[in-house]
Amino acid sequence: MKIEHIAIWVDDLEKMRQFYRTYFNVSCGEKYVNPKKQYASYFLSFGPGQSRIELMHRPDIGENTGKRGFTKGLAHLSLSLGSKEAVNQLTERLRKADYTIASEPRTTGDGYYESAVLDPEGNYIELLA
């Protein structure tokens, strides 16, 4: 088994799509729109046979009342970049683009080398070596 995709409700579908395409080198499928439900989505793919992210928007989906990632439910998305150098480089690239670095690059107590960034809507994204 593997995770096929993770879905994220978003406010600004185009802004979020551009963020993930720019910084995580994903390909993007065609925009799906269901006018009756006022629903739209994009699937972002890390490559053939790899896990995907589905970005979804519907105007009647309300804001999470707590700090994202710190309420019950999905806490964070963790993406493996392959090396410490890649973690350091992407962290600095995101910092220079004025994204919030939620956790500086470090080796965690359980042995992972990681940093964390908040995406444009405040979702916690771990960057792993």
Count: domains in the chain: 2
**Tally of CB atoms within 10 A around 126:** 20
Tell me what the mean pLDDT of segment 72-90 comes to: 91
Domain ends where: 59, 91, 106? 59
Tell me if 70 is assigned to some domain.
Answer: no
| Domain presence at residue 126 | yes
Tens-digit pLDDT profile for residues 25-36: 999 999 999 999
Residue 44 falls inside a structural domain: yes
Q: Check whether residue 92 and residue 51 sit in a common domain.
A: no
**Residue-number span of the structural domain to which 105 is assigned:** 76-129
Total-model pTM = 0.88
Q: How far apart, in whole angstroms, are the C-alpha atoms of residue 24 and residue 76?
A: 16
- Residue at 89 is within a domain: yes
In a domain, 84, yes or no: yes
Q: What is the DSSP letter of 2?
A: -
Q: Are residues 80 and 50 in the same domain?
A: no
Task: Answer whether residue 91 shows pLDDT above 90.
Answer: yes
CA distance 119 to 99: 7
> Could you please report the per-residue DSSP string of 5-54?
EEEEE-S-HHHHHHHHHHHH--EE-PPEEETTTTEEEEEEESSTTS-EEE
| Whether residues 1 and 43 fall in one domain | yes
pLDDT score recorded for residue 61: 86
Sorted by sequence, the CB contacts under 8 Å of residue 127 that are 6+ apart come out as 79, 81, 86, 87, 90, 91, 114, 115, 116, 117
User: Could you read off the pLDDT of 24-71 as tens digits, one per residue?
Assistant: 999 999 999 999 999 999 999 999 999 999 999 999 987 766 666 666
Is 71 contained in some domain? no
> For residue 50, what is the domain's CATH number?
3.10.180.10
In a domain, 65, yes or no: no
